[in-house]
Amino acid sequence: GQNIDQPTEMTATEGAIVQINCTYQTSGFNGLFWYQQHAGEAPTFLSYNVLDGLEEKGRFSSFLSRSKGYSYLLLKELQMKDSASYLCAVVDSNYQLIWGAGTKLIIKP
Amino acid sequence: TAGITQAPTSQILAAGRSMTLRCTQDMRHNAMYWYRQDLGLGLRLIHYSNTAGTTGKGEVPDGYSVSRANTDDFPLTLASAVPSQTSVYFCASSPQSVPAYGYTFGSGTRLTVV
């Protein structure tokens, strides 16, 4: 079967750095997305990785290792508004998105 | 503002009743999707449409139907609601069926079946 694993919940301090991991086992791989979802709101696009390596976008970076079936989202200089759920999703061989359950990130002052 | 509009925002529905969740986009995206989101689970695909006039079944299609008469609209119908259909429903769209472009999501419909 297809599976996406993420930690259920993480806590970090304002101003710090946090890394949210995602491991996957899917039938094929055609890219990996990270989305941010604030409570009661729609998911919004953060990043898309299809090749190995690190992609940096402001305070957020996303890393992919296809050989390890692994990705992480790195958030720097955490702000209170970063409190949200972070969803990892993999595009499988049929170009369908397989979603993880999401990681709830709690930021403390 | 361009995007996806879902209606209603929330609804309480008696079991056995039918209901249509509306979804309209103004971005001229070819592909549209319906997902349900339940606590502790990832988004699960109900139905999708790669282009106007075509639809397909996702991971959890039972009890739901869709139509795609034009590019902009993609309604989701529950013919006879059951309590297990209590969930938050998200409509999403993408320029093409290959999701590398990313999805744009609507704001969701919170449905409670009692």
Q: Which residues contact B101 (CB under 8 A, 6 or more apart)?
A: B94, B95
Q: Which residues contact A7 (CB under 8 A, 6 or more apart)?
A: A20, A21, A103
Position B79, amino acid: A
- Span A1-52, pLDDT tens digits: 789 999 999 999 999 999 999 999 998 999 999 999 999 999 999 999 999 9
CB B111 within 8 A of CB B34: no
- How many angstroms separate the Cα of B49 from the Cα of each of A9, B36, B72? 33, 16, 11
B44 token code pair: 């699960």
Q: Which residues contact A40 (CB under 8 A, 6 or more apart)?
A: none
A48/B106 touch (CB, cutoff 8 Å), yes or no: no
Q: Does B114 touch chain A (CB under 8 A)?
A: no
Instruction: Using pLDDT thresholds of 50, 70 and 90, give the confidence band for residue B98.
Output: confident
Which of B47, B51, B93, B105 is best to mutate for the A interface (most A CBs within 10 A)? B105
Q: What percent of chain B has pLDDT over 70?
A: 97
A55 token code pair: 């992609």
Instruction: Using pLDDT thresholds of 50, 70 and 90, give the confidence band for residue B1.
Output: low
Please give, one letter per residue, the 3-state secondary structure of chain A: CCEEECCCEEEEECCCCEEEEEEEECCCCCCEEEEEECCCCCCEEEEEECCCEEEEECCEEEEEECCCCEEEEEECCCCHHHCEEEEEEEECCCCCEEECCCEEEEEEC
Whole-number Å distance between alpha carbons of B95 and B32? 9
A42/B108 touch (CB, cutoff 8 Å), yes or no: yes
Q: Does B108 touch chain A (CB under 8 A)?
A: yes
- Span A69-104, pLDDT tens digits: 999 999 999 999 999 999 999 998 888 889 999 999
Q: Does B1 touch chain A (CB under 8 A)?
A: no
Q: Does A98 touch chain B (CB under 8 A)?
A: yes
Separation in Å, CA of A100 to nearest CA in chain B: 5
Q: Does B100 touch chain A (CB under 8 A)?
A: yes
DSSP letters, B29-92, are -SEEEEEEE-TTS--EEEEEESSTT--EE-SS-TTEEE--SSSSB--EEESS--GGG-EEEEEE
B42/A44 touch (CB, cutoff 8 Å), yes or no: no
